[in-house]
Amino acid sequence: MLTPEQVKDMIEAVTPCEYVEVEGDGHHFFAQIVSSGFEGKARLARHRLIKDGLADKLASNELHALSITVAATPAEWAAKQA
């Protein structure tokens, strides 16, 4: 069973991240991801970037379910925090 920290490490291996927070129970995980790698990408493309990078983990069911609740650029994230 995966921990939130392990899932965080997997996400950070896919794209450089300024901030990642992962919560979950070992089966279902929820991630907030802030990455400059999202610059110029639409929301769906941002999600695909992460999900495609984790495709082998998802296909093998090692990572059962990942919901990306935030996929923001650093500027978007800063604006939300203000």
The answer to pTM > 0.85 is yes
What pLDDT score does 82 carry? Answer: 80
Burial class for 57, CB neighbours closer than 10 Å (0-12, 13-18, 19+): middle
What pLDDT score does 9 carry? Answer: 98
Q: What is the pLDDT along the chain (82 residues), one digit of tens a residue?
A: 899 999 999 999 999 999 999 999 998 999 999 999 999 999 999 999 999 999 999 999 999 999 999 999 999 999 998 8
Burial class for 16, CB neighbours closer than 10 Å (0-12, 13-18, 19+): exposed
